[in-house]
Amino acid sequence: MSLASNTARSTSNTKEPVPDIETFHGSSLELKNLTMAYGDVEVLRNVSLNVAPGTTTCIIGPSGSGKSTLLRGVNRLHEPKSGDVLLAGESALQVKPDLLRSRIGMVFQHFNLFPDHTALENVALALWSVKGMPKAEARERARRRLAEVGLAERADHRPRDLSGGQQQRVAIARALAMEPEVMLFDEATSALDPELVKGVLNLMAGLGRRGMTMLVVTHEMGFARKVADQVVFMDEGEVVESGTPADLFDNPQSERLQRFLSEVL
């Protein structure tokens, strides 16, 4: 029922069929020598990363290591300085940013829900305004997505009337409704009350099981260990170490990762 029962992630490519639930068709994601800068300061240097379709990659590392910047480079909320991002094998830098972003879902630490819209409108907004779906159809799909994250009864609530966990689930539903090929999570549970963290993490793990390609920046080491197919440790704008959860957590090679793990575990 929970994360603990899902430890057998080594079998991730032979996904167990989930009855009555639609599966996703995640695309592959590849970063090639991605370098990103704010002004003259390079915050990400030569990061290369390969995320196979339908797998989950967790990015861990101390604050200021460039994890969030990396996510923002993938959907070009911040334009990379050099290098390339390949979505389903094609360069993301050659696509129009708006089109690219409609194919990549993103979930933020502080939810960023639209406060003057209800939960339902939050989910439906991009469906009609970006996908051009008729409003009634958009609302219908939004309702289904909300039901999937357990919020069918709260569809008409505004964000301020929802708890942090509920808000984050609306945000996930909002991103999922666009039928993205890849989901980016930027510390999605860092702002949540402790008792609500697990629910959101379970939801994310469920997406992974259903075939979504996910890039997850997280401080939840338990989640990374149990759910990730690949864990990437970053520090000072570089990938220091990457591999399976077992590799990194049980047998860290670099001194920096050893130090980091000794602080957080």
- What token pair was written down for 105? 């879902």
Under rule CB under 8 A, residue 102 binds another protein: yes
Which residue, 146 or 257, has its beta carbon nearer to another protein?
A: 146
Residue with tokens 């630490």: 109
Taking CB under 8 A as the criterion, which residues in 16-55 touch another protein?
Answer: 16, 18, 20-21
Under rule CB under 8 A, residue 165 binds another protein: yes
Shortest distance (Å) from residue 255 CB to another protein: 36
In angstroms, the CA 225 to CA 217 distance is 13
Under rule CB under 8 A, residue 262 binds another protein: no
Shortest distance (Å) from residue 83 CB to another protein: 21
Which residue, 203 or 239, has its beta carbon nearer to another protein?
A: 203
Which residue, 53 or 164, has its beta carbon nearer to another protein?
A: 164
Shortest distance (Å) from residue 140 CB to another protein: 18
Under rule CB under 8 A, residue 196 binds another protein: yes
Under rule CB under 8 A, residue 144 binds another protein: no
Give the count of residues interacting with another protein (CB under 8 A): 60
